[in-house]
Amino acid sequence: MQQAVRGALLSFRADPFEVPLEECVYHEADGVIVMESGVITALGSASDILPKLERGTVVNHYKDCLIMPGFIDCHVHYPQTEIIGAYGEQLIDWLNKYTFVAEQKYKDPDYALGTARLFMREMLGAGTTTASVFCTVEPASVNAFFKASEEYGLRNIAGKVLMDRNAPDALCDTAKTGYDQSKELIENWHGKGRLLYSLTPRFAPTSTDEQMEATGALWKEFPGTYLQTHISENLDEIKWVKELYPNAKNYLDVYDRFGQVGAKAVFGHGVHLEERELDRLSEVGASIAHCPTSNLFLGSGLFDLQGAMKRPNPVRVGLATDLGAGTSFSQFRTMGEAYKIAQLRGQSLSAFEALYVATRGAAKALYLENQIGSLDIGMEADLAILDLQATSLLKYRMEAAESVHDQLFATMTLAPDALVRATYVAGNLVMERDRETHQAQYYIPANDLA
């Protein structure tokens, strides 16, 4: 059944890191998006689209709002939701003190499902409609996450963490059990509805050579699946990897030796990558997930986004919250922190560039740019609707905004909790926030599993 939304539309047709803004930014001050069977079937100016609508089409009019593609989070840990804001120290200490403790709870399927559902609501409340997600070593954590994703009809990517050394015994699998359990999960979930599977070695120090070999072999066995892990987040981590793999040319080479570097491989952080590592990522089409709030919170370093995306051989980069070291579900807040990191590097990140890596650029990093991340005919109808009058301060600031870019930049700087007015998934309204109370209401689509 045909339905439509009306408001200001904003999206990208191309990469603002590569082409002039007038060639890549799509903006309609008063536009309409028509949706049917989960995809966008028409969009354009209200004056052009409204007269062509089928009789009886419901049009939800979002005044003083920006309608844009749903945000995409390229690297996040749903089991770490409960440890957001835990006193940090540095990466390895933080993992041992908080992460490994929290993740041991996920043997319990009910606990895992409860957290997955809470995570999903927070994600949708922030306008995020796709995420690449680390579960835990327990298959129950993966089943729970995909079940919760399925309830809302989300296009999500996730996988069981693989980890057979340098971690608590309760969180370790083996090369064989990791392979067998991952294979079963792929067969059960990959390609089911909008769900996709990612092989998920936590990072090189927590997998033996045997597990790394098995992971590379399994990834090759199932073309179309993803692989996600961490790389070059922290200087002590890099030193540790050099001690564990003294013959490797660099950190990326460790993964490369085990067949884990290629298209649809997503490497979290990449803060301290060498030029030859960036060259290799570009060569094979692998991606980096930029995690600003996490890198700042743990003091890991300042990722060079401009250097990765504007080099002669650009690397695919998508924005990521990296909860729970990351400090917010909001990609708009994450954009604001990415700007600050660029400033500290003596660079300037425009609001359009920041928004690109949270939408179309993130979709490209995940090889989904033909399905999500943009507003266009035939794209899946995942939408985030931003209320530019969500708070009195934001409303006041918008009155002084002189352009769409000014609106965006002020919004990513202020980024109030109530910023996202509504979220649509595959054309279904799944979250709507009351403009007075800011209370969010969530809806599970009738045609999906409850």
User: Which CATH number characterizes residue 31's domain?
Assistant: 2.30.40.10
Domain that holds residue 172: 71-365
Q: Which of 365, 384, 411 is the last residue of a domain?
A: 365
Query: CA 29 to CA 366: how far, in whole Å?
Result: 29
Query: CA 296 to CA 303: how far, in whole Å?
Result: 10
Q: Which residue has the tokens 């060259």?
A: 279
pLDDT tens track of the chain, all 450 residues?
899 999 999 999 999 999 998 899 999 999 999 999 999 999 999 999 999 999 999 999 999 999 999 999 999 999 999 988 888 677 778 788 888 888 999 999 999 999 999 999 999 999 999 999 999 999 999 999 999 999 999 999 999 999 999 999 999 999 999 999 999 999 999 999 999 999 999 999 999 999 999 999 999 999 999 999 999 999 999 999 999 999 999 999 999 999 999 999 999 999 999 999 999 999 999 999 999 999 999 999 999 999 999 999 999 999 999 998 889 999 999 999 999 999 999 999 999 999 999 999 999 999 999 999 999 999 999 999 999 999 999 999 999 999 999 999 999 999 999 999 999 999 999 999 999 999 999 999 965 443
**Is residue 49, in this structure, part of any structural domain at all?**
yes
Q: Are 80 and 66 members of one domain? A: no
Q: Are 255 and 204 in contact (CB under 8 A)?
A: yes
Reading the block at residue 231, the tokens are 């790389």
Total number of domains constituting the chain:
2
**Is residue 112, in this structure, part of any structural domain at all?**
yes
**Is residue 448, in this structure, part of any structural domain at all?**
no
**CA 130 to each of CA 124, 167, 227, 380, 381: distance values in angstroms, whole numbers, following the listed order:** 9, 29, 16, 11, 12
**Is residue 151, in this structure, part of any structural domain at all?**
yes
Query: CA 305 to CA 51: how far, in whole Å?
Result: 44
pTM above 0.95?
yes
**Is residue 395, in this structure, part of any structural domain at all?**
yes
Q: Are 436 and 422 members of one domain? A: yes
**Is residue 449, in this structure, part of any structural domain at all?**
no
Q: Are 268 and 359 members of one domain? A: yes
Q: Are 27 and 62 members of one domain? A: yes
Q: Are 272 and 384 members of one domain? A: no
**Concatenated DSSP letters of 37-88:** TTEEEEEEEHHHHGGGSPTT-EEEEEEEEEEEEPEEEEEEEGGGGGGTT---
Query: CA 285 to CA 275: how far, in whole Å?
Result: 15
Query: CA 357 to CA 361: how far, in whole Å?
Result: 4
Q: Are 256 and 142 members of one domain? A: yes
Per-residue b or e along 151-189, where b marks 16 or more CB atoms closer than 10 Å to that residue's CB: bbbbbbbbbbbbbbebbeeebbbebeebbebbbebbeeb
Q: Are 33 and 87 members of one domain? A: no
Q: Are 146 and 79 members of one domain? A: yes
Q: Are 326 and 391 members of one domain? A: no
Q: Which of 365, 385, 416 is the last residue of a domain?
A: 365
SS3 212: helix
Q: Which of 365, 383, 406 is the last residue of a domain?
A: 365
Q: Are 28 and 137 members of one domain? A: no
CATH number at residue 237: 3.20.20.140
**Is residue 35, in this structure, part of any structural domain at all?**
yes
Q: Are 137 and 263 members of one domain? A: yes
SS3 445: coil
Reading the block at residue 427, the tokens are 């054309």
Query: CA 282 to CA 150: how far, in whole Å?
Result: 33
SS3 266: strand
Q: Are 166 and 134 members of one domain? A: yes
**Is residue 450, in this structure, part of any structural domain at all?**
no
